[in-house]
Amino acid sequence: MLRAASLSLVITLWSSLSWAAPAIQNVAPRGLQIGGVTRVTISGTDLAAEPQLILPAGGTATLVGDAKPNKLEFDVTLPADVAPGLFPLRVANDAGISAAVTIGVDDLPQAAMTDKIEQLPIALTGNLTGAQLIKTTLTGKQGERLVVDVEAKRLGSNLRPVVRLLDDRGAQIAFSPQHESISGDARLEFTLPYDGEYVIQLQDALYKGANPGFFRMKVGDLHYADLTFPLGIVRESSVDVEPVLTSLGEAKLTAAASSAYAPQLSPQIKTPHFTGAAPRLLVNQNAEFVELRQKPGERIETPTAPVAINGRLSGENERDEYVVPIEPGKKYRVEVLAQRLGAPTDGVLEVHKAQGGGLGSNDDQPMTGDPALTVDAPADAEKLLIVLRDLQGRYGPEYVYRIEVTPLSIGDFTLTADTNIWNVPAGGVLTIPVSVKRRGYGGPIELAWDGEAGDFALSGNVIPAGATSTLLSVASPGAGRFAVARLIGKAQVSGREVVRNVLVQPSDSGFVTAQQVEIGLGTINQPPLGVALASPFSSDKLSLGSTVSVPVQVTRREGVAGPVRLKLLSTQVTPQKEVPDPKDKNKKVKVDDVERTLRLATDVIIPAEQSDATVTIAVPKDLADRSFDLALQAELLSADQKNVVATATTAAQRFSLAAPIYLELAGETTYRFAGKLFRSEGFQGAATIKVSGLPSGATAADVELAADKSDYVIEIKLPAGMKLDALAGVKLTAVTQKNGGETTSNETSLPLPKDP
């Protein structure tokens, strides 16, 4: 009984000290109703500490009942003017902010999947895995328009939906496979032929549905628009766009101007019962050109590159030709976006000199059917002729495309960070690296929030000229604060301002998505671990080949115990060196060159009962002559030191070199030690002075002393890099012959001076 009681106490204590950020595992239903109240159940982990639901703009959420660590219930109210579409949903609480899950927002009543649909329209949430076949029935009327839209892939599910509509005899009358225009989801549209009962069937395309297999099945007289024409818009401009792959007919949609640097925006949707994501337009800082041809086959001249061309194939076997002014003798990237945006266009791209002469052609790239070319414009070419056609000669309103013509001679850059969840300790900072990949631009880049970010403050937000990264430190404005924001980088490149979003999620889409740039900012109200410098660095200068020491103090929240390991964060790109391949002696492999890396001189682990330590940073002798950001990361370890259970960071500090040169002795160093041999009265034999205890690599020759000599000099050679104190264990002895045998003198140590 005592043992069981003790175990129960340990579990309760550990649970009460949980400090992990909230994590969402499931949401039911997977949609919210515009102009109504939806009760939402969220399951996950670490949810309970003062939870708040982060919703699309204008929504409110009221907690129902008590918050539990693994379950929350909210009544969510959305005003009638909230835009329909797919949006991220997050939970924030005292331990930070969660990763986002995608939910649908529309004006449909929300319900769980059911065997019989009693009202239309309706949005049903369910789950399907393996070879499962899900069915539901409805009563329909002759001439009634019916849309069945299954959202799965668009919500992040692994289900590959296929949907069928059967009549009351069990005969299939409509079918939808997966459609690329809606990210691999299924949607059918059908006019019912008569009054009666109908069956909707849903299955995985391969009868091997993987977890998670959640979905939303929306049924009714629904409307949709998957694409627009044009496909892009210039930032800060407003444009009327034509919906494509749509049920909206010839209606125009308006994309309002925005001063933000969001990579995409959507036009305003006011149509009732709209389903799916609102169509997206790519936002461009350069020129946008829209095809307007007076007659088929006409060549059209565009603005000077960089330019994005929006076109459509309107006739069978059509070849759309564009003349693009360029700078002669420069390199250009010509890339088509069509299938990656959801259009069916299977483009074939050709690039020529406008006056004649081909420069290349392409019909696809790895992982996509969209073509692209990189061409060197000849010195006599002031214009490029760009031609696009469909591989099979297809055409129609949905065969839209976008051609981006980019001069690679103009400087540019790409910014990335490793995570999109930034949980900041109250009273401390979160320090994370932001990396830059440069193309023809080596100057500074300033990082800033794009619009509101809940007053989360930034430091270290300038990437220096020539640097490949910065250590960005983020401070929270206070307990209970959170935000969802975008981080941008600005630079003046060749007299023009270039602004790029910081990408926090990888993607192979060929364009920047909204999900790639959204950062969840949360506050850890009672962080389990903190770390700070007990006193500042004595200087912001680093000396080559030296060490820098600084006292560090860690704090553990009440009830938290464990050893803390310290690590150095640095913006230095780790140097590499070649070493023999342990698997093949004839080959070499590259490994990190630790000796040439900014690093902690020794490993530092602060015992559980201590909170202070001194860290020593070793500076390589050949460190590059540029600025470097340094910060310390503390890791709270489990008792066996095998797992990291919490981390904390200091604010970053920027250092530069005190001098770009370092002097040391190279090659062998020879030390000479002079001595005297004393003989007893009447003894006049020869002797040999011997050296013992030499460190590996050091050498010394024995010294032979004739019978009439007593002064000697011992020479010891040390290899490069070995210091004099390595000779502390060396001993000298003298050996001579007496009465036919060998006799040995006393041992004497070397008189070591200070290491020069």
42, HSE (Cβ side, Cα atoms, 13 Å): 37
Contact call for residues 304 and 325 (beta carbons, < 8 A):
yes
Residue whose pair of structure tokens reads 């175990």 in the numeric block = 7
Supply angle C-alpha 354, 358, 364, rounded to 5. Answer: 110
Decide if pLDDT at 1 tops 70.
no
Tell the burial category of 645 from Cβ atoms under 10 Å away from its Cβ (0-12, 13-18, 19+).
Answer: middle
Bridge partners, 565 (sequence order): 605, 635
Looking at every residue in the chain, the average pLDDT score rounds to: 92
Q: What is the distance between the alpha carbons of residues 307 and 68, in angstroms, rounded to a whole number?
A: 53
Max alpha carbon distance in the chain (Å)?
Answer: 136
Confidence of residue 3 (pLDDT cuts 50, 70, 90): very low
Mean predicted confidence (pLDDT) in 687-694 = 94
Reply yes or no on whether the pLDDT at 5 is more than 60.
no
Better-scored residue on pLDDT, 17 or 90 = 90
Confidence tier at 665 by pLDDT (50, 70, 90): low
Least confidently predicted of 445-459, 669-683, 703-717: 669-683
Q: What is the pLDDT of residues 565-577, one digit of tens each?
A: 999 999 999 999 9
SS3 at position 122? strand
> Average pLDDT, stretch 113-130?
97
Q: How far apart are the first and last CA of the chain?
A: 69
Mean pLDDT throughout 670-695? 90
**Average pLDDT for residues 145-170, to the nearest whole number?**
97
Q: What per-residue confidence (pLDDT) applies to 10?
A: 28
What is the rounded distance in angstroms from the CA atom of residue 99 to the CA atom of residue 375?
Answer: 41
pLDDT range class, residue 4, cuts 50, 70, 90: very low
Task: Evaluate whether 221 touches 119 at the Cβ level (below 8 Å).
Answer: no
Q: Which of 562, 568, 559, 569 is nearest to 643 (CA)?
A: 562
* Mean pLDDT of the region 359-378: 95
Q: Is the pLDDT of residue 6 over 60?
A: no
Give which of 464, 428, 448, 438 is closest to 519, Cα–Cα.
448
Contact 685, 738 (CB under 8 A): yes
Q: Please compute the mean of the pLDDT values over residues 58-82 and round it to a whole number.
A: 95
Q: In what order do the strands lie in the sheet with 225-229?
A: 225-229, 239-246, 253-255
What DSSP designation does 365 have? Answer: B
Res. 8: pLDDT tops 80? no
Q: Full-prediction pTM beyond 0.95?
A: no
Are the C-beta atoms of residues 506 and 419 closer than 8 Å to each other? no
Q: Which of 384-398, 466-480, 729-743 shows the lowest per-residue confidence on average (mean pLDDT)?
A: 729-743
At 145, give phi and psi (nearest 5°).
-80, 130
Q: Tell me the mean pLDDT in the region 738-746.
A: 89
Residue-wise pLDDT for 403-459, tens only, equals 999 999 999 999 999 999 999 999 999 999 999 999 999 999 999 999 999 899 999
Residue 626: pLDDT band with limits 50, 70, 90? very high
Region 720-729: what's the mean pLDDT? 86
Tokens 């000099």 sit on residue: 713
Number of H helices, E strands in the chain: 1, 66
Residues 480-485: what's their mean pLDDT? 94
Number of CB atoms found within 10 A of residue 505's CB: 15
* Torsion sign across C-alpha atoms 101, 106, 107, 108: negative
Q: What is the pLDDT of residue 15?
A: 32
Residue 114 has pLDDT above 70, yes or no: yes
Residue 141: CA count within 13 A, CB half-sphere: 5
Q: Is the pLDDT of residue 755 over 60?
A: no
Report whether pLDDT(12) > 60. Answer: no
What tens digit of pLDDT does each residue of 240-282 get? 999 999 999 988 999 998 899 999 999 999 999 999 999 999 9
| Residue in the structure block whose two tokens are 């007299």 | 495
Whether 40 contacts 24, CB under 8 Å: no
Residue with tokens 């099945």: 217
Sign of CA dihedral 23, 433, 261, 311: negative
Check residue 753 and give its pLDDT.
Answer: 67
352: left (phi over 0), alpha (psi -120 to 50) or beta: beta
User: Average pLDDT, stretch 94-107?
Assistant: 96
**How many other CB atoms are found less than 10 A from the CB of residue 462?**
17
pLDDT of 609 higher than 80: yes
Domains assigned to the chain? 18-106 (2.60.40.10), 110-220 (2.60.120.380), 287-407 (2.60.120.380), 412-524 (2.60.40.10), 529-659 (2.60.40.3880), 669-749 (2.60.40)
- Whether 49 has a pLDDT exceeding 90, the answer reads no
Q: Which DSSP category does 8 fall into?
A: H
Task: Report whether 66 contacts 72 (CB < 8 A).
Answer: no
- CA 460 to chain CA centroid, Å, is 19
